[in-house]
Amino acid sequence: MKRVILIGAQGKMGKAALSGLRKHEVITASRSGDGCDFHVDITNKESIKALYQKVGPFDAVVNTVGFCEYAQFEKMTEEQWDTTIQSKLLGQINVVKVGLDFIKDSGSFTLISGILNVKPIPFAIADATTSGAIDTFVKCVAHELPRNIRINVVNPTVLEEAWDVYGEMMPGFQPVPGALVGKAFERSVDGFISGQVLFVDA
């Protein structure tokens, strides 16, 4: 059994990840902390550090947080770009950067991206751009991580559990069950792979 920190645990993707982590001791966190063990704001490095200090020794971090703004490219404001970059891109990078000072030897990080960087749809340019950047970050930074620490990213299509929210903006997409996406998180945490983008698509 591993000690796994799951950030964003009460979200739709967090619940999908949790389904693949049941054999582990899972410590949950989110921005509000509602229904979780701890609160953390991934856009704030001090908040990330405080979470790791409070949790104590751990083997893995699974982050399912990455807030994105949705708008047509021509109408996207600088603030909307910044909000998305601070959360989905820099927030996740800082979960790893700060986490390196705390995670055990041979530990692992698992991040979240999303299929829209390879299957674009209208209004999703910020999500697509930051998802692509996170996929690249994971593939490349894996070569630099010390102490046998691994890193992967789960890149899923839309969840069945989120189809009522996103279905209308994603015609022609086939949603997948959260339990299937949970398997990808399990493969990342329990396997030996690193630097991989784990696509889950129908």
Ligand X SMILES: NC(=O)c1ccc[n+]([C@@H]2O[C@H](COP(=O)([O-])OP(=O)(O)OC[C@H]3O[C@@H](n4cnc5c(N)ncnc54)[C@H](OP(=O)(O)O)[C@@H]3O)[C@@H](O)[C@H]2O)c1
Q: How far is the CB of 195 from ligand X (least distance, A)?
A: 20
The secondary element (H helix, E strand) that includes residue 135 is: helix 125-141
Residue 152 near ligand X by CB under 6 A: no
Instruction: Tokens for 141, please give them.
Output: 């930074």
Residue 59 near ligand X by CB under 6 A: no
CB neighbourhood size of 2 (10 A): 16
Choose which of 28, 87, 110, 117 interacts with ligand X (CB under 6 A): 87
Task: Give me the half-sphere count of Cα atoms (radius 13 Å) on the Cβ side of residue 56.
Answer: 4
Residue 40 near ligand X by CB under 6 A: yes
In the complex with ligand X, the residue whose CB is nearer, 40 or 133, is 40
Query: In this chain, which stretch among 19-27, 29-37, 53-61, 145-153 interacts with ligand X, using CB under 6 A?
Result: 29-37
Mapped onto helix, strand or coil, the DSSP state of residue 98 is helix
What residue has token string 């927030």? 91
Within 53-130, strands assigned E span 60-63, 108-112
Is the distance from CB of 165 to CB of 121 less than 8 angstroms? no
Choose which of 5, 61, 62, 159 interacts with ligand X (CB under 6 A): 159
Q: How far is the CB of 85 from ligand X (least distance, A)?
A: 12
Q: Which residues bind ligand X (CB under 6 A)?
A: 7-8, 10-14, 30-32, 34, 40-43, 64-68, 87-88, 112, 114, 127, 156, 158-159, 162
